[in-house]
């Protein structure tokens, strides 16, 4: 049976994951906004290897977002199972 301490820890974990998701998604958006439209001119004028590294960074952030979402889903599932 889940204790109040377990519930508090789960709530902190969820809050931490949400904070992480917010931060990483804001970072990714800030990077991607510079790849299209008028802002994208500077990106498209970069050397190919720099564009690759830039997009690799975007991909890494997207991976971190997916991992944090997976953690959030796992936490929700565990919380539901503990309540059952």
| pLDDT, tens only, 53-65 | 999 999 999 999 9
Spatial distance between the Cα atoms of 42 and 73, rounded to a whole number of angstroms: 38
pLDDT confidence tier of residue 1, bands split at 50, 70 and 90:
very low
Residue closest to 74 by CA, chosen among 21, 23, 14, 4: 14
What is the model's pLDDT at position 11?
Answer: 64
Asked whether the predicted pLDDT for residue 35 surpasses 90, the reply is yes
The pLDDT of 10-35, averaged and rounded, is 91
| Helix segments in the chain, DSSP class H | 4-32, 40-44, 48-83
pLDDT confidence tier of residue 8, bands split at 50, 70 and 90:
low
Quick check: 62 and 28 in contact, CB under 8 A?
A: yes
What is the model's pLDDT at position 14?
Answer: 85
CA-to-CA separations, 11 to 1, 3, 61, in angstroms, rounded: 16, 12, 24
């Amino acid at each position: 049976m889940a204790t109040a301490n377990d519930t508090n820890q789960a709530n902190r974990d969820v809050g931490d994951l949400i904070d992480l998701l917010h931060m990483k998604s804001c970072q990714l958006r800030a990077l991607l906004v510079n790849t299209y439209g008028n802002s994208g001119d500077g990106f498209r004028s970069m050397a190919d290897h720099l564009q690759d590294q830039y997009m690799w960074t975007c991909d890494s952030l997207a991976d971190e977002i997916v991992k944090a979402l997976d953690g959030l889903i796992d936490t929700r599932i565990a919380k539901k199972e503990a309540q059952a």
